[in-house]
A and B are shown apart, each in its own frame.
Chain A
Amino acid sequence: MRPRRSAAFWALLAFTLAVCAFLVVPVAMSMLAGMTRNYFVGWRSGLTLDWVLKVWTDYRHTVGLSLQIAIACLACTLVLGVPAAYVLARRSNAFTRAVEELLVMPVAVPGLATALALIVTFGGWGDLRRSWLFILIGHVLFTLPFMVRSVLAVMASIDLRTLEEGARSLGAGFAQRFFGIVLPNCRPGIVAGSLMVVTLSLGEFNMTLLLHTPLTPTLPVGLADAYASLRIEVGSAYTLVFFVIVVPLLVALQRASRPRGRGAAR
């Protein structure tokens, strides 16, 4: 016999479900709107995939560009952020602490301000302003602190110094211990950071709105465009497309972050 649940349990369950509904219902409504023939009539007008198809034909390039930027951004933050976190973790002095604080600046400063600064500074550099790389620079600037912080947190928790001293005593040079010991043991931080970077880059709007050109609209910019200039069903269908892309990506990254099982340990 299972023990009877108390009234408090049911009250808490109801509250939890209410909060979940508060978060989930608008998303579901939006996705449903994207498949409704006429939003103002409601779902009685019938369901259709026409809007989704329209989005796919008209805005497919924004999806591709967003994924391209997200992946490039991840590559940049990995190459820049992981070594940066390593240095910050291994050398704690006034300078590294200052760098750590400075790194958070692009998160604290409004994206529009950062974008304006980038345009003022680099806007005149050849074709950079017209290239998708210009958006990439903004995204890297914005997401780098998330990678650094996440990796740094793991590095601080595993007594990196002693692990490395152990590896050194066994004859391992810098490259051997960095790739063989440091990186594998920071895996949870690297995966968590990657998750943040990819999702933030995919959804970034503030900065991208100013950084993009008509030739380089990303998914969120396209979404804003669709909502602003087309039928609400199209904008909603766009949201649906966004979800279909992002959710499997998140699930895959979450899976990758799980610790390896006993069987896979060798």
Chain B
Amino acid sequence: MSAPAGDGSGAGSAAPADSGGVSIRLRGCAKTFADGTTALRPTDLDVAAGETVVLLGPSGCGKTTTLRIVAGLESPDPGGTVRFGELDVTEVPIERRNVGMVFQSYALFPNLTVRGNVEYGLRVRGMAPRERHARVHEMLAMMRIEPLAERRVDQLSGGQRQRVALARAIAPRPRALLLDEPLTALDARLREELRVEIDRLLRSLRITTVYVTHDQAEAMALGDRIAVMADGRIVQVGTPREVYFQPADAFVADFVGTMNRIDGTIDGGTLRFPGGALALPDGHARPWAMFRPEDLRLVEPGHAQFSGRVASCFFLGDHTRVVIDLGAGPPLVARLSRREGLAPGDPVHCAVDAQALLTPPAHRAIAP
């Protein structure tokens, strides 16, 4: 029933930030469900000890399946292996993997108080009461929920539940922390607040973390690295900067942040389209170019690479979001910080620096 003290649960006297964690290595992990649907194609993933990797992608891309394979809630199809450090844990059920998990619905136990929930992982490990109380106190303090200790979970707000779920997951000092869309159920403001909180927590614990989300802002803010997923495979793994500035393909470019796309025809090293022309970077010969809204500049007519008209204009305080119609093709979005306003119909003259232009390959969608 109770694990022997010494698997991390008995280290009550050690510093709070000692859990650190273990590296995680997935090799050839695929998942086909009983009904024949492929949730995940053979996937490799490496998470260094103490690192936070965010699995980012639209719903149905396989990110939650990947997380559940790491957790041990799903086993990969034969051939796939999961390693925690040097240990092959492919056949080890979640009960003995010593991972902390936070669910989208929190999965708090309604029959227990906040204290009972946080304590649960320690109790099933058979930790001595004195140590257990100290640890629970420490966790409640860390998540700033001490005044709620004796409340039942149905008496808590969404944000409070989230804190309890985090406290419960990290209380047994797990080897890795796994979070499945933990902020999705919260409203925008609370989400922002808790994102900061989670970031602070992960930095202070330096615990190996896999974080699943479909929100690219969350991914950017929290991830040491981001693994962008689509169609049951990882399309790109990289730091937030790499993923943002050097997207591996058109899908990543479009999914992470807002991306403008201009289609046209190649003429030498130049992309020609109805509103004007753009000089393409060397060696890129695809008939489209992409750039971020913040890279579009308004210039004097003489310096313009292309021109269009303002379709709509939204003043958002710190910047203005302008939608520009080139006359053909999808409209472009510009993020401008100038103070004077623009009215729909105004002619605008635009330029984009050559180094801001991206010409990633098209996304290779795989037939299901």
Contacts and interface: CB of A to CB of B under 8 A. Distances in A.
Interface of A: 158-159, 162-163, 165-173, 175-176, 180-181, 184-185, 187, 262, 265-266
B107 interface: yes
A163 B107 contact: yes
A172 to B, nearest CB: 4
Nearest to B115: A266
Interface of chain A, main secondary structure: helix
B95 A159 contact: no
B116 interface: yes
Contact of A167 (B1, B98, B109): B109
Contact of A266 (B3, B121, B150, B178): B150
A170 B93 CA distance: 12
Contact of B121 (A159, A162, A171, A184): A171
B62 interface: no
B152 A173 contact: no
B10 to A, nearest CB: 13
B105 A171 contact: no
B93 to A, nearest CB: 7
B319 to A, nearest CB: 40
B163 interface: no
A187 B105 CA distance: 21
Interface of B: 1, 3, 71, 73, 93-96, 98-101, 103, 105, 107-111, 113, 115-116, 120-121, 124-125, 150, 152, 168-169, 172, 178
Contacts of A159: 105, 107
Given A170-B172, A173-B1, A265-B113, 15 more contacts: A162-B103, A165-B94, A166-B107, A166-B109, A167-B120, A167-B124, A169-B71, A169-B73, A169-B169, A172-B120, A173-B124, A175-B1, A176-B1, A180-B124, A185-B111
B111 A181 contact: yes
A260 B103 CA distance: 26
B301 to A, nearest CB: 60
A185 B121 CA distance: 18
A171 B110 contact: no
A168 B111 contact: no
A26 to B, nearest CB: 42
A100 to B, nearest CB: 21
6 contacts: A165-B101, A169-B169, A171-B98, A173-B95, A180-B120, A185-B109
Nearest to B107: A166
Q: Which 10 A-B pairs have the closest CB atoms?
A: A166-B107, A170-B121, A184-B111, A169-B101, A172-B124, A162-B107, A168-B94, A185-B111, A171-B124, A168-B95
A115 B85 CA distance: 64
Contacts of B113: 265-266
Contacts of B150: 265-266
A106 B178 CA distance: 47
A199 B298 CA distance: 81
B110 A185 contact: yes
B3 A170 contact: no
A12 B152 CA distance: 39
B4 to A, nearest CB: 12
Contacts of B111: 181, 184-185, 187
A180 B109 CA distance: 10
Contacts of A158: 110
A173 B126 CA distance: 12
Contacts of A168: 73, 93-95
Contact of B116 (A162, A165, A171, A266): A266
Contact of A162 (B105, B115, B178): B105
Contacts of A187: 111
Most chain A CB within 10 A, of B1, B109, B125, is at B109
Among A169, A172, A180: residue with most chain B CB under 10 A: A169
Given A171-B3, A265-B152, A166 B98 contact: no
A196 B350 CA distance: 76
Given A265-B150, A265-B152, A169 B109 contact: no
A187 B46 CA distance: 43
A132 B103 CA distance: 51
A171 B100 contact: no
Residue from A158, A162, A168 having most chain B Cβ neighbours under 10 A: A168
A159 B107 CA distance: 8
A184 B109 CA distance: 10
A266 B113 CA distance: 7
Nearest to B34: A93
Contacts of B101: 165-166, 169
A170 B168 contact: yes
Nearest to B152: A265
Contact of B124 (A163, A165, A170): A170
A230 B110 CA distance: 55
B94 A169 contact: yes
Nearest to B120: A170
Nearest to A266: B113
B109 A181 contact: yes
Contacts of B71: 169
Contacts of B124: 167, 170-173, 176, 180
Contacts of B168: 166, 170
